[in-house]
């Protein structure tokens, strides 16, 4: 509660507000947390860093009472926290913002915040008081959001603010955020960090779960690194550097995969004056001019929602351009469908792995043949060839380093990085000549992202032209041959990656800079 916020006593050593001691948690044969001991002090941001599957989320779920530890104890503000009770955790002043939000889409912001804090049978609800309290909290921590709006109309960033408000409304003094930046645009990340800093200035404490080094360096006071369930490092951020943290996370020196210099091949994809109109007639893509060569990776930078969806839909075979000329491998694209794109030799890595990339309830081996179930290698007389499918899966699991999977594992059980490897294995094993990779490393840890890049390099070396859509500029600069920026449906002229720099691209991403057309290209029609 806001009135309960007391500033950190100046000049005294910050006291420990949360103590995790010897937390161990096993799932079957897997040890998710192995005797982890951790302390959180008042008024600090502690980053919990680790690869996917390192046990960060498990640890926080134990703290919040979703799981019960097999061993160990938790103390909050000097009092022992009963295990397995989220209610007790909330009462002890712990608030949790999950990676996947837990909001009722059909309810208003205020309803979502108040939900669960009022007795169900109260004849009258004191909404005015609640609204006032929410407004105060929002004002105080820079979490502006209109309490009357419905959650389904809000952006991801706004929803996150509601989650934080929800925790604060319940009197949280310790806020746990699980991968809070995974879904945010750069500007929203800045705003979130400002809020977090305002909160710790008030004496609250924050645990910030992340696998992104630069964010941890930017916002945390201390960092704790988890690897394979064990706490492997814990140090003040002032004593940390990116390189050693990365190494602690992965457990071995991290070297980005080597990218060979290759001469670009022939044009494999061409768009000239391509436009796509949205539902309200607003252009999603506005007169796009683009050439893609074989043996190159063309990066498309930009904040999501600036036309990436429409561009991906064109290359995925989900729609045709409304205007303009679209050519793939020397053939005009007049009719389209996902299957037709596969036949043309286009490999498609969708943005949303869970929703479009894999069928989570099917085993890995069947996801690996999802796009090739009619291939005579896997299907004869309408019957699936189980043996061949199993061997195919074993080979790809080996070749693409898909961890924790055997052919019959349900795909849902894999981590995000390994799920992405399943998709890449399926797409790349078909030998595509044009590849759409839509945010392929989003949400992946360093090790898995490096693997994904390595696979893309291999496809590039094999002659494929790759369109890489990403919001991560540093990654684009490292991986791509050429980079263009998409802003409100307009594409900036691609520049070679060596000539591009973060500042210029950043400006282009926010709409400042040259978006003149790239019309000096051959093969115009329209």
User: Which residues contribute to the site for another protein (CB under 8 A)?
Assistant: 27-30, 67-68, 83-84, 316-318, 337-339, 341-342, 348, 350, 355-362, 366, 370-371, 373-374, 379, 382-384, 386
Nearest approach in angstroms of CB 338 to another protein is: 4
User: In this complex, which beta carbon is closest to another protein, that of residue 42 or of residue 407?
Assistant: 407
Q: Which is nearer to another protein, 119 or 382 (CB)?
A: 382
Output 195 or 308, the one with its CB closest to another protein: 308
CA terminus-to-terminus distance, the chain: 62
Which residue's CB is nearer to another protein, number 316 or number 441?
316
Minimum distance of another protein from residue 53's CB (angstroms): 14
Of the two residues 61 and 210, which places its CB atom closer to another protein in the complex? Answer: 61
Task: Report, in Å, the least distance between residue 432 CB and another protein.
Answer: 13
Tell me the closest approach of the beta carbon of residue 34 to another protein, in angstroms: 17
Q: Which is closer to another protein, CB of 30 or CB of 115? A: 30
How is residue 330 annotated by DSSP?
Answer: T
Q: How far apart are CA 15 and CA 206, in angstroms?
A: 14
**Positive or negative, the Cα torsion across 181, 247, 416, 430?**
positive
Residue 49: name the closest of 248, 192, 280, 191 by CA.
248
CB of 449 to another protein, least distance (A): 23
Q: How far is the CB of 425 from another protein (least distance, A)?
A: 14
The residue behind tokens 């520049």 is: 495
Residue number with CB closer to another protein (169 or 378): 378
Minimum separation from the CB atom of position 83 to another protein (A): 8
Continuous segment of H or E residues that includes residue 285: strand 283-293
- To another protein, the closest distance from the beta carbon of 121 in angstroms equals 26
Enumerate the β-bridge partners of residue 36.
23
Please, what is the minimum distance in Å from the beta carbon of residue 362 to another protein? 6
Buried b (16+ CB within 10 A) or exposed e, 457-484: bebbeeebbbbbbbbbbebbbebbbbbb
Least Cβ distance, residue 314 to another protein (angstroms):
14
- In 3-state terms, the chain is what percent helix, strand and coil (to 5)? 35, 25, 40
How many whole angstroms separate alpha carbon 514 and alpha carbon 280? 27
> Of the two residues 82 and 186, which places its CB atom closer to another protein in the complex?
82
Q: What angle do CA 237, 238, 243 make, to 5 degrees?
A: 70
What are the helix (H) ranges across 16-125?
56-63, 86-91, 109-114
Give yes or no for a contact between 239 and 248, defined as CB atoms under 8 angstroms apart: no
Report how far residue 204's alpha carbon sits from residue 455's, in angstroms, rounded to the nearest whole number: 43
Six-digit token string for 127:
């909404």
**Distance of alpha carbon 168 from alpha carbon 255, whole angstroms:** 41
Whose tokens are 């759409």? That residue is: 436
Phi-psi region of 431 (alpha: psi -120 to 50; beta: other; left: phi over 0): left
Tell me whether residue 360 or residue 416 sits nearer to another protein (CB atom): 360
**Closer residue to another protein (CB): 161 or 353:** 353
DSSP letters of 108-153?
BHHHHHHTTTS-TT-SS--HHHHHHHHHHHHHHHT----TTSBGGG
Give least dist CB 57 to another protein, A: 14
Quote the tokens at residue 151.
């959650």
Residue closer to another protein by CB (options 58, 181) is: 58
Nearest to 378 by CA among 429, 437, 412, 318: 429
Shortest Cβ distance from residue 69 to another protein (Å)?
12
What sign does the CA torsion over 395, 401, 402, 404 have? positive
- Of the two residues 241 and 375, which places its CB atom closer to another protein in the complex? 375
């Amino acid at each position: 509660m806001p009135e309960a916020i007391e500033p950190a006593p100046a000049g005294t050593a910050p006291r420990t507000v949360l103590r995790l001691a010897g937390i161990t948690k096993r799932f079957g044969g897997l040890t998710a947390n192995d005797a982890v001991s951790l302390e959180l002090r008042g008024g600090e941001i502690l980053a919990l860093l680790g690869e996917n599957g390192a046990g960060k989320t498990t640890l926080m779920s134990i703290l919040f009472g979703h799981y019960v530890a097999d061993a160990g104890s938790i103390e909050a503000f000097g009092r022992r926290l009963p295990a397995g009770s989220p209610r007790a955790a909330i009462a002890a002043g712990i608030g949790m913002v999950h990676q996947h939000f837990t909001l009722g889409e059909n309810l208003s912001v205020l309803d979502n915040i108040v939900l669960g804090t009022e007795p169900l049978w109260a004849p009258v609800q004191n909404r005015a008081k609640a609204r006032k309290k929410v407004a105060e909290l929002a004002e105080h921590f820079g979490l502006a959001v209109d309490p009357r709006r419905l959650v389904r109309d809000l952006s991801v960033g706004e929803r996150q603010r509601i989650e934080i408000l929800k925790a604060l409304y319940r009197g949280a003094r310790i806020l746990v955020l699980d991968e809070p930046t995974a879904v945010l645009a750069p500007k929203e990340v800045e705003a979130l960090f400002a809020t977090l800093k305002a909160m710790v200035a008030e004496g609250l404490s924050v645990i910030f779960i992340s696998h992104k080094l630069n964010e941890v360096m930017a916002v945390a006071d201390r960092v704790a690194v988890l690897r394979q369930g064990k706490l492997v490092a814990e140090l003040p951020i002032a004593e940390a550097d990116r390189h050693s943290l990365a190494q602690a996370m992965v457990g071995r020196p991290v070297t980005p995969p080597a990218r060979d210099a290759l001469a670009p091949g022939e044009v494999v994809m061409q768009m000239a004056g391509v436009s796509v109109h949205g539902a309200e007639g607003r252009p999603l893509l506005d007169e796009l001019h683009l050439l893609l060569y074989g043996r190159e990776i063309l990066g498309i930078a930009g904040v999501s929602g600036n036309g990436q969806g429409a561009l991906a839909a064109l290359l995925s075979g989900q729609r045709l351009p409304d205007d303009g000329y679209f050519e793939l491998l020397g053939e005009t694209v007049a009719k389209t469908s996902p299957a037709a794109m596969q036949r043309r030799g286009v490999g498609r890595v969708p943005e949303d792995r869970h929703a479009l990339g894999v069928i989570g309830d099917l085993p890995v081996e069947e996801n690996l043949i999802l796009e090739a179930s009619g291939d005579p290698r896997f299907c004869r007389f309408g019957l699936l060839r189980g043996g061949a499918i199993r061997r195919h899966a074993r080979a790809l699991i080996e070749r693409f380093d898909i961890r924790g999977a055997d052919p019959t594992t349900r795909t849902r059980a894999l981590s995000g990085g390994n799920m992405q490897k399943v998709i890449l294995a399926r797409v790349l094993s078909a030998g595509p000549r044009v590849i759409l990779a839509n945010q392929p490393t989003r949400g992946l840890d360093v090790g898995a992202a490096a693997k994904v890049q390595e696979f893309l390099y291999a496809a590039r070396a094999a002659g494929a032209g790759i369109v890489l859509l990403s919001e991560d500029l540093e990654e684009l600069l490292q991986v791509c041959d050429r980079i263009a920026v998409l802003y409100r449906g307009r594409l900036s002229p691609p520049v070679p990656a060596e000539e591009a720099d973060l500042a210029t691209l950043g400006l282009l991403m926010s709409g400042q800079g040259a978006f003149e057309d790239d019309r000096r290209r051959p093969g115009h029609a329209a």
